[in-house]
Amino acid sequence: MRQVDMQIGAERRPGNATFESIDPYTGEPWAIVPEASQADVNDAVAAARAAFEGDWGAMTGTARGRLLRRLAELITESADDLALAETRDNGKLLREMGGQLRGLPAWYEYYAGLADKIDGRVVDTGRGDFFGYVSREAVGVVASILPWNSPLLLLTFKLAPALAAGCTMVAKPSEQAPVSILLLAELFEKAGFPPGVFNTVSGASRQVGEWLVSHPGVDHVSFTGSEATGSAVAKAAAGHLAPATLELGGKSANIVFPDADLAAAANGLVAGIFAAAGQTCIAGSRGLIHEDVYDEILERVADRAARIVMGDPKKPETEMGPICFPGQLQKIEKFVTEARDSGARIVTGGDDRGLGGLFFAPTIIADVTNDATVCQEEIFGPVLSMLRFSDEQEAAALANDSRYGLAAGIWTKDIQRVFRLTKKLRVGTVWVNAYRTLNFAMPFGGVKASGFGRENGSEGLDEYLRDKAVWIETTGNTRDPFVLG
């Protein structure tokens, strides 16, 4: 059993109570995690505030960038250990988690390069007696609430730009996958960051997150997770007038036209929904296939889905591991059972392939319409709904017929169609002849019920900065106090 602690200021804190993190593959506990009290949360916010108003807040952008680069080096050195912690926490493939961790330092290096390039601007005030300029300043203390599917990657979407901007952070990891984030916090002292810049509070109780986002000492809330929880987080933040960045769910369409490279498109459909066992917000869970190639695409995808290797996520040959925790598995099973009972055709999957435990086979559901529950609700599992369309206009209408708007994929060789269709799709990200790729330089986020605000890119940095307008009277003359201007 691995023991991990919270980081609160300069203190490694074990907590007065603990809970266990369960390995989804073995079903056995593997780590002991602290349960934060309200006092712990208060102390963490106070530590973040002290750092923001102290040494960290006084630091230049160049100095912050230097520390971010050192943190990137330490993450590289610790990548194997951090990746294994994520696999043991959430059951995702070690090869995927290893790839994420090896790529993670690039995020910190990218934002290290932006830390000393936060410029303001001089403004023509329209008056000869005033000089005006706008400065950009760090928003302050950030509360970050994380999901369980890719804890460190999704934390980094928030943490790297927040640090570059000059903010401090208190992070609350998911109770399902807390260990890697608590381990990351140990690297900050080694990197030379002042105490309190990055703090962690963990807990199996929902109260821990509620205490944090509703804390009056928090200046900005950044959340990744479900639509329902995101709505509650936004309301709690609004209670003390803190703005929020919300990256929520998705029901993304992967759209295939007849002129596409059908082998590549089929592979893209598989990658979009069965990678990470479908436990990803960007999952391409709706396959919109032109009627002329529907049967061929269905056959190709079903054949590959049936051959996906399931098993121990630590083994290199495994292509799909278990579902993260029992409640999520039960949710997936419920959606598939309801679809079957309503007359949908289960082409492949719909069971555990005899593996038991938390396994659920790659599942394809055909003969459904877009108003079906499995086409409208985020399942967050390896379940692909396949729908037909007849023309480009219908494809756009079906793709947009969702309360979500996170992402979409388009498979076609017609570049004119690409420009037409990307303009019509109400989503935050469109992949063309590809699916499920992200980068530190490209903004990421959704519209509609998929949330608001952007992560990554220079847009991600903007979330943690606020503009300040400065007016400087230049003549020394006395003004009429009763006249505006």
Phi, psi at residue 289, to the nearest 5°? -120, 130
CA-based nearest residue to 308, from 345, 357, 348: 348
Beta strands in 53-192 (DSSP E): 121-123, 130-138, 141-145, 168-172
Reading the block at residue 256, the tokens are 């295939």
Q: How many C-beta atoms surround the C-beta of residue 167 within 10 A?
A: 27
What is the identity of the amino acid at 413? K
Q: Which member of 35, 96, 227, 281 is catalytic?
A: 281
Tell me if residue 281 is catalytic. yes
Residue 18 half-sphere exposure toward CB, CA atoms < 13 A: 16
Distance CA 255, CA 433 (A): 10
CA-based nearest residue to 284, from 430, 67, 181: 430
Bridge partner residues of 80 (DSSP): none
Q: To 10 degrees, what angle do helices 61-90 and 179-191 make?
A: 150
Beta strands in 150-278 (DSSP E): 168-172, 198-200, 220-224, 244-247, 253-256
Tell me if residue 247 is catalytic. yes
Q: Name the burial class of residue 390, with classes exposed (0-12), middle (13-18) and buried (19+) by CB atoms within 10 angstroms of its CB.
A: exposed
Token look-up 């980068």 returns: 439
Please enumerate in sequence order all residues whose Cβ is within 8 A of that of 478, keeping only pairs 6 or more positions apart, or say none: none
Q: Which member of 35, 247, 378, 463 is catalytic?
A: 247
CA-based nearest residue to 104, from 64, 77, 67: 77
Distance CA 285, CA 449 (A): 16
DSSP output for 381-406: SSEEEEEEESSHHHHHHHHH-SSEES
DSSP H or E stretch at residue 410: strand 407-411
Q: Name the burial class of residue 357, with classes exposed (0-12), middle (13-18) and buried (19+) by CB atoms within 10 angstroms of its CB.
A: middle
Catalytic residue positions? 247, 281
